[in-house]
Every structure is written in structure tokens, then in C-alpha cells.
Amino acid sequence: MAGLIREPNFDNSDDFYAALLAAHDGLDEPEMHALNARLILILANHIGRNDVLEEALSAARRTSG
């Protein structure tokens, strides 16, 4: 099975980014964190493979701050 896809794989990344920002409109910081957590869990469930999810966590950690 394939691992984490690292090259761009969006139909339209700008549209998704706009929708992601719009989903946060009107939320305070705790609500934004809760939305992000729910979104991560929904997408993690869709991926369904711990090896890919752990690779994604590692990649995100390396690219932060």
C-alpha cells in the first residue's frame, strides 16, 4: 500500500482553503480548536491507516514553527 501522499493532490486547493477559513468564521479560539480536532478525526477515520497517520504527524511536526 502507498504511504503518505506528499505532492499536491487537490482538485482546487484555493477553494478548499477558502472553505476551511469560512468554517472558522465567527468561532472563538476554543471553538476553532474543537473544529480542527473534529476535522482531523474525521479525516483520520477516512484515511484509516495508522502508518499513514503517524507519517503525517511526523511530517507536520517537522514543518512546524
Average pLDDT, the chain: 94
Supply the pTM of this predicted model.
Answer: 0.83
Task: Give the residue extent of every domain in the chain.
Answer: 29-65
Q: For residue 63, what pLDDT band results from cuts at 50, 70 and 90? A: confident
**Which distant-in-sequence residues (6+ apart) come within 8 Å of 23 by Cβ?**
35, 39
Residues 12-50 pLDDT 10s = 999 999 999 999 999 999 999 999 999 999 999 999 999
Question: In which band, very low, low, confident or very high, does the pLDDT at 64 lie, cut at 50, 70 and 90?
Answer: low
